[in-house]
């Protein structure tokens, strides 16, 4: 036991050093874990390090990491979220999975010389993108609420749902079972178990968790117990522990305490997940590293080039601008940690070799490293590739532009903020035009006969077509700093007297926009606090006044919902 502890300490120390270096180069920490495992594997190969007895124990820890990861993924897959995905994300996500799978399958079969089953696993693996990496980088860039951010998240949800189905199928397969027994086990056995779980989740679990949640420690213990019991039950029925943990999370996501449970489980998950990725790197066959790297480079081309092109093409069919198409394509240009879990399960079932797993682990490292820079510097890449990717935009978009030359005001970006602004423009009797680059938003506005134009403000052609020299007022609710900076610059060149109102999230951004020539910079977070402070100051603790404010707010929210904004927390720009 002492040897195990020492060896584990050495592996974790190596992971810390490599992860620290990865972080210094703006790389996700997950890369550090895998590279640390590869480094330890090289040490074992050279004979400088001995890890024998501890390998089995560390492997068990890594299995816990997978179970906890899938449990937390399940906690965020509330069945109600399917309604919020949107038809465009649904079809784009499914289309991308099918086409990328086909490409991965053919490349593996024809170029890499793998058998059909292994090629199918590779196709599945490269079809999924990393939820953890994408969410982290979008959060760092403050673009979770952007249009391309919301579409990317919607596609990731579709991928997660498909991954659930894939895990269900693989876990119900056996190396020697017949097709009939497979269908009976997966459809009848698995389906019955899922139905029973969800019935329990809808009718019994809410009452149970309401009572348990009175004690935070008891809620934490119950959530771990629930994860292990359901995973064990699925294992007993012949399915994998992984799919049991995932479905345990999905059922528990119905509970109103799912967010709290997720936050309490996350530190435990992170520790075991570190071990999983280290073990993954440790199991890469360093003796055949040149062959693995060569195959990984070939697959990386499919992931980094073909997958974004597929996404851009599918999004163009739904009428999105080339910039939005490019941003979604580059955001999802990597493979997922989910992919490795599918492959690990495939190895344990005897469907694929450890070499295939090593190849995809190396592909994950390469694609995450490169896609990180693609996401971080997407605007710079877009400026250089803007003309070549014009193919990924509907040719009739420009023909559909109907510029209203006599407008007094232009609203750039229609979202929950824009709704109230339009009401004010109507009251002061100003002729207005709404410019937005979400085709769904334009379709909704057209239904209400609101003058609108489809286009991306970041595109200079749009700004040249607009009557900027004649307007009295320009308002932008778009949260992107670069777009607002360009907008102010374009308007001030032809119309120095126009009132320009733009939006910013950070104080320094607001100051920079003022310096550029903004008349006023909207800072929603600070203004919300100011409004509450003013309301408290004016009406103090007068209950009647608060009831009046409440009535006005409920009325306003009702009007917003009638215009299609059922989920005001989701911005369209």
Interval 133-164: pLDDT, tens: 787 777 767 776 677 888 888 898 888 888 87
Long-range Cβ pairs for the range 255-259 (8 Å, 24+): 255/201, 255/205, 255/206, 255/209, 256/206, 256/209, 257/209, 257/213, 257/219, 258/75, 258/76, 258/78
Asked, for residue 123, whether it belongs to a domain, the answer is yes
Whether residue 337 sits in one domain with residue 227: yes
Asked, for residue 58, whether it belongs to a domain, the answer is yes
Greatest mean pLDDT among 15-24, 51-60, 325-334 lies in 325-334
Average pLDDT over residues 513-526: 87
Asked, for residue 404, whether it belongs to a domain, the answer is no
Whether residue 117 sits in one domain with residue 43: yes
Instruction: Tell me which of 340, 357, 388 is where a domain ends.
Output: 388
Whether residue 338 sits in one domain with residue 234: yes
Stronger pLDDT, 494 or 66, i.e. the higher one: 494
Whether residue 321 sits in one domain with residue 269: yes
SS3 content of the chain, % helix, strand, coil (to 5): 70, 5, 25
Stronger pLDDT, 418 or 226, i.e. the higher one: 226
Residue 174 has pLDDT above 60, yes or no: no
pLDDT of residue 99: 96
CATH for 218: 1.20.1530.20
* pTM summary value: 0.71
Domain that holds residue 539: 409-562
Q: In what order do the strands lie in the sheet with 432-436?
A: 452-454, 432-436, 409-412, 473-476, 499-503, 520-522
pLDDT of residue 405: 57
Interval 215-232: pLDDT, tens: 878 888 888 898 888 888
Whether residue 73 sits in one domain with residue 137: yes
Asked, for residue 355, whether it belongs to a domain, the answer is yes
Average pLDDT over residues 332-342: 86
Whether residue 324 sits in one domain with residue 259: yes
Whether residue 381 sits in one domain with residue 430: no
Asked, for residue 141, whether it belongs to a domain, the answer is yes
Asked, for residue 111, whether it belongs to a domain, the answer is yes
pLDDT of residue 399: 47
Residue 573 has pLDDT above 50, yes or no: no
Range with the lowest mean pLDDT among 271-285, 340-354, 473-487, 503-517? Answer: 271-285
pLDDT of residue 426: 81
Whether residue 262 sits in one domain with residue 331: yes
Instruction: Tell me which of 388, 418, 438 is where a domain ends.
Output: 388
**CA gap 315, 229 in Å, rounded:** 42
- Complete DSSP assignment for 242-259: HHHHHHHHHHHTTSTTHH
Asked, for residue 399, whether it belongs to a domain, the answer is no
Whether residue 159 sits in one domain with residue 125: yes
Within 266-322, strands assigned E span: none
Average pLDDT over residues 252-260: 78
Average pLDDT over residues 465-471: 87
Residue 529 has pLDDT above 80, yes or no: no
Asked, for residue 279, whether it belongs to a domain, the answer is yes
Residue 569 has pLDDT above 60, yes or no: no
Q: How confident is the model at residue 331 (pLDDT cuts 50, 70, 90)?
A: very high
Q: What angle do CA 211, 213, 214 make, to 5 degrees?
A: 75
Whether residue 221 sits in one domain with residue 155: yes
Task: Give how many domains the chain has, as a whole number.
Answer: 2
Whether residue 423 sits in one domain with residue 306: no
pLDDT of residue 571: 37
Six-digit token string for 436: 């937005």
Distances (CA, A) of 410 to 292, 308, 429, 460, 468: 55, 33, 13, 16, 9
pLDDT of residue 572: 35
**CA gap 53, 237 in Å, rounded:** 31
Q: How many C-beta atoms surround the C-beta of residue 90 within 10 A?
A: 16
Average pLDDT over residues 472-476: 92
pLDDT of residue 515: 92
Whether residue 318 sits in one domain with residue 217: yes
Q: In b/e form, how buried is each residue of 303-313, taking b as 16+ CB within 10 angstroms?
A: bbebbbbbbbb
Greatest mean pLDDT among 67-76, 95-104, 261-270, 540-549 lies in 95-104
Average pLDDT over residues 279-300: 80
């Amino acid at each position: 036991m002492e040897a195990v502890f020492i060896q584990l300490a050495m592996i974790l120390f190596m992971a810390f050093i490599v992860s620290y270096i990865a972080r210094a180069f703006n790389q996700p920490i997950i890369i550090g874990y895998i590279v640390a495992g590869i480094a330890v594997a090289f040490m074992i190969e050279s004979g400088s390090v001995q890890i024998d007895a501890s390998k089995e124990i560390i492997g068990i820890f890594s299995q816990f990491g997978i179970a906890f990861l899938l449990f937390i993924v399940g906690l965020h897959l509330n069945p109600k979220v399917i309604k919020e995905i949107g038809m465009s994300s649904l079809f784009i996500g499914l289309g991308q999975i099918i086409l990328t799978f086909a490409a991965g399958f053919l490349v593996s079969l024809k170029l890499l010389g793998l058998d059909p089953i292994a090629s199918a696993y590779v196709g599945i693996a490269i079809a999924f993108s990393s939820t953890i990496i994408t969410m982290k980088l979008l959060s760092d860039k403050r673009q979770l609420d952007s249009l391309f951010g919301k579409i990317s998240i919607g596609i990731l949800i579709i991928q997660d749902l498909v991954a659930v189905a894939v895990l269900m199928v693989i876990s119900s397969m056996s190396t020697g079972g017949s097709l009939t027994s497979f269908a009976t086990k997966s459809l009848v056995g698995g389906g019955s178990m899922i139905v029973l779980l969800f019935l329990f989740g809808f009718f019994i679990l809410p009452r149970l968790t309401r009572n348990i949640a009175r004690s935070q420690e008891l809620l934490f213990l119950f959530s771990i117990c629930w994860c292990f019991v359901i995973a064990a039950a699925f294992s007993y029925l012949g399915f994998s522990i992984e799919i049991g943990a995932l479905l345990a999370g999905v059922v528990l996501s119905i509970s109103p305490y799912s967010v709290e449970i997720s936050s309490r489980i996350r530190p435990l998950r992170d520790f075991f997940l570190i071990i999983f990725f280290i073990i993954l790197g440790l199991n890469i066959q360093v003796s055949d590293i040149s062959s693995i790297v060569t195959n990984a480079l070939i697959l990386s081309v499919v992931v980094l080039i073909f997958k974004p092109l597929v996404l851009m093409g599918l999004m163009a069919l739904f009428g999105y601008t080339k910039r939005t198409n490019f941003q979604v394509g580059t955001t999802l240009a990597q493979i997922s940690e989910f992919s490795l879990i599918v492959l690990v399960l495939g190895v344990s079932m005897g469907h694929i070799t450890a070499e295939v797993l090593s190849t995809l682990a190396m592909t994950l490292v390469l694609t995450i490293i490169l896609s990180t820079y693609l996401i971080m510097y997407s605007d710079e890449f877009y400026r250089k590739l803007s003309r070549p990717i014009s193919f990924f935009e509907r040719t009739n978009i420009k023909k559909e532009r109907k510029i209203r030359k006599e407008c007094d005001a232009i609203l750039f970006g229609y979202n929950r903020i824009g709704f109230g602004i339009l009401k004010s423009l109507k009251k002061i009797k100003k002729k207005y035009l709404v410019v937005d680059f979400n085709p769904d938003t334009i379709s909704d506005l057209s239904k209400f006969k609101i003058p609108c134009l489809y286009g991306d403000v970041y595109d200079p052609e749009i700004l040249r077509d607009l009557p900027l020299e004649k307007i009295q007022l320009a308002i932008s609710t778009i949260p992107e700093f670069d777009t607002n900076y360009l907008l102010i610059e374009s308007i001030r060149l032809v119309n120095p007297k126009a009132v320009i109102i733009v939006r910013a999230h950070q104080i320094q951004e607001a100051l920079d926009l003022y310096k550029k020539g903004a008349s006023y910079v909207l800072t929603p977070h600070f203004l919300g606090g100011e409004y509450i402070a003013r309301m408290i100051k004016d009406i103090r603790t007068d209950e009647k006044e608060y009831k009046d404010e409440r009535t006005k707010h409920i009325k306003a929210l009702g009007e917003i919902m009638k215009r299609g904004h059922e989920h005001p927390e989701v911005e369209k720009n």
